[in-house]
Structure 1
Amino acid sequence: MTFSEHNRSLFGPPSTELPKPPVPYTPGWRFQAQSHTAPAPTPVIQCGCINSDHEMRERNQQSLIDRCLRHPPLPGKEGNGAVSLEVIDILKGGDGHSSQVFTARLLASDSKPEILPQKGTQLVAKIYDPLYLNDSEGYLNPFSCVDKYYTHEANAYLSLHEFQGQWIPRYYGSYTLSLPVDSVQTRTVRMILVEYIQGMTMSHAQPKDFSQSARQSILKSIVDLESRIYHADIWLIDVEPRNVILRDPDSDLPRVVFVDLAHALFNRRRDDPLALQLEYFMGQYISPLLRWTESRSSTEAFYEWIDWDWDPWLEVEFAHTAASITPEMREEWPREYEEAESS
C-alpha cells in the first residue's frame, strides 16, 4: 500500500482538487517584492516537516489553494524597501520543486545603493512557494517545509556574511510578494535574492574532463570550506555536487562556491531534546581529520570525482590541523556522527 492509499484508507478520498494556477515564474514575468526580515530559523526536529493525522485529513478535505490561504508564511517583519524584477531564465522550477529558482533582472529598487547592485544587474531569485512543492503524496507538510527552507537559508546567509562574495553568493536580502488567487484574494510567498555566479555546478560537470590534480584541488576546497563554515557553528548537511558551483571550470584550479543553504543546521545540530544534551564544541574548529574520513561517508556524494586513496591524502592535506584535535574531541565525535546518521 502506498502512502496515498494509506492516507485515503484513514481519512476517505480527497476532495475534488481545484486545478493549480499556471506557475507564474516564467521568463518575461515582471513583479514587485517588498523587503522582509525573516523570523528566527524554525526548530529542526525528527518528523518536523511530516504531516500529522490532522494535517493529512485537512489535505484530503481542502484544496491546496485554500490551504495556502489558511497557512500563510511565518510573519517575520515587513520592511520599507521594494524591488522590481523581471524573470530571465529558470534554473529550477515548475510544479513539484522544493523552491522556484531563476535568474532575474533588477528593474528598480528603492533600497540604499549599498544594499543592492545597480539596475539591470542579473541576480538569482529563490521563491519558497508551497503551492508547487512536491509533498510526496501527502507525506510532507508543504507549509512547514517552506517555512523551514526560507528561515534557515535567509538566516544562514546573514550568519555567514564574511563568506559572501567568494565562497557563497553575495546576499541581497529577503522579500515577500503577493500572488493573485482570484479577483479578490491573494496569497503570500517569501523570496531571497543572491548574487548570480558564473560557472557550472559539479552535478553538470564531467569529472573525466578534470585532471586528478584539479579534482583534488576542488575536493580540498570543499572540505576546507565546509569545515570553516562548521567552525561558524553552522552545519551544511546538504553539501553535494548539485550545490557546489565551479567558478572558472576551464581553468587548472577551479574555485568552488556553495549554494542552497536551506538545510543549514544552526548550532551544528537538530533541536531534538537528545541533541540539545550533546557537546558539539561550539565555536571551536573541528579538524577534517575527524569529520571527513572515508569511514564517515562524508565523501559519498563525490565518489565519481575521487580516484585516489582518500584517507592518506586527507591526512597529508590537513596535517596542519591535527594539533587542534583534543582527546575530548576524539572521544565525543563518533557519538555526534552516530546521532547524525540515525536522524
Structure 2
Amino acid sequence: MLVQEVLDPSHAREGRLGPKMVAKLFDAKYLDPYDHPPSYANHQYIRESSAYRYLIRHGLDQHIPRFYGSWSTIIVDTQGRQRSVRLVLIEYIEGTDMAHLRPSDFSPNQRKDLLRQVVEAESRFYTLDLRHKDLFPRNVIVTETRRVVIIDFGLACIGRSASDIYDFDDPDDLLDGDYISPIVRWWRAQDVNDEWALSGWTTWGWNQWLVDTWSSDIPDITPAMLKWLPSEEREKPFFYHLFNGCDRTSPKWYVAYKDQMRV
C-alpha cells in the first residue's frame, strides 16, 4: 500500500499539491502461497473495486473513502516471467483505525456514537445486499471530527447468503433488498463476546443499547426477520412478547408496548 500526494492539475504551474491518495496494490508475488493461491489477489481486487463502485452508484459514498478508480497492468520480472498487478486508488483518510485507538480515551457516549455509525453504515450496505465480511476495528477509521469511515472491501460480496440466517429453507428467506434492523442482525447471544467487546469498545449492555438506539425499527420487525437469530434467542422475552405478548393489530400498539420492552 502506498500513500502519495499528487499535483493539483488546476495549479500545476505553481506546484500546488492536491489530495493525498492511497494506492492499494494487489500483487500475488507478496502473498504466502501456503495460505492463498495466486488467484487470491485478483479476487480481492475484483471484490474491492466492485464494492466501491456499487456503493457509490447507490449513494452510500459518505461511509467510504473517495474512490478514484482501478487499474491493471502486466509486470515482467528479471527472468522474463509475467504477472498481473492491479491497483485501487482511494482517498487517504486523515485518522486512525479503531484497532490502534484506545477506547479509554473516549467517553461511553462517544464510543456509543462511533459504534452507532459503524452499525448504521453496515446495515445500509446490507440493505443493498452488500456484505463487508471483514468489519472489525482495524477496518474502521475515525477522523478528528469522529466521523467513521469503512475501508478494506477485499472480502466483500454482493448478494445475501444462506449462511446469513438460521433455518434456511428457501431463497426468499433472505429477504433480498429489505432493511433488516440491527436489533436482529447485530443481536449478541448471551455470554458471546465479539471483537468489539474484547477490544474494549463496547462495555455496556449491548442488546439493550440496540433496542434503545433503533427502537423506531420495532414496528417493522416481522417474524421472517427472526431467522437472523439463533432459535434460542428468538425465545428470549423481548422477541417472544413482541409477537406473542401484544396485539400488533390494535391502534398504536407500539406506544403501549414501548414502555415494557426492556431486554
TM class by shorter chain equals 0.7 to 0.9
Letter in 2 for 1:240: F
The answer as to 2:84 corresponding to 1:188 is yes
Tell me how far apart the structure 1 counterparts of residues 77 and 8 of structure 2 sit (CA, whole Å): 25
Q: What amino acid is aligned across from residue 23 of structure 2 in structure 1?
A: A
TM-score of the superposition, structure 1-length normalised? 0.58
Query: 8 Å contact 1:291–1:298 — kept in the other structure?
Result: no
Asked if 1 retains the 8 angstrom alpha-carbon contact of 2:126 and 2:179, the reply is: yes
- Find the counterpart in structure 2 of residue 13 from structure 1: none
Determine which of 127, 152, 161 is the counterpart of 1:231. Answer: 127
Aligned counterpart for 1:146 among listed residues 41, 48, 65: 41
Residue 2 of structure 2 corresponds to: 102
- 5 Å-filtered alignment, 1:288-303, equals 288-295=182-189, 300-303=194-197
Q: TM-score, normalised by structure 2?
A: 0.74
Is 1:163 the counterpart of 2:60? The answer is: yes
Separation in structure 1 between the aligned mates of residue 169 and residue 74 of structure 2, nearest angstrom = 37
| Cα RMSD after superposing both structures | 2.8
Q: 2:136, 2:191 → 1: CA distance?
A: 12
2:22–2:92 Cα contact (<8 Å) kept:
yes
Q: What SS does the corresponding residue of 2:203 show, helix, strand or coil?
A: coil
Aligned partners of 1:170 and 1:276: how far apart in 2?
A: 39
**Larger % of helix: which?**
2
Pick one of 210, 213, 230 that aligns with 2:106.
Answer: 210
Residue pair 1:236, 1:264 contacting (<8 A) in 2 also: yes
**Using a 3 Å threshold, how does the CA distance of structure 1 residues 300 and 150 change in structure 2: closer, same or farther?**
same
Question: Percent identity between the aligned chains?
Answer: 33
Question: Is the Cα–Cα contact under 8 Å of residues 187 and 229 in structure 2 kept in the other structure?
Answer: no
Distance 1:197 1:171 in 2: 12
Q: Does 1:125 align with 2:23?
A: yes
Distance in 1, matches of 2:60 and 2:191, equals 26
CA contact (8 A) 1:174 1:193 kept: yes
Aligned length: 217
Give the CA deviation at 1:283.
0.8
Q: Tell me the residue number matched to 2:180.
A: 286
Alignment equivalent of 2:159, drawn from 267, 270, 277: 267
Structure 2 unaligned segments of length 5 or more: list them: 10-15, 232-263
Q: 1:210 to 1:108 in 2, by over 3 A?
A: closer
Long gaps (5+) in structure 1: 1-100, 110-117, 337-343
Distance 1:235 1:174 in 2: 21
Q: Which residue of 1 aligns with 2:251?
A: none
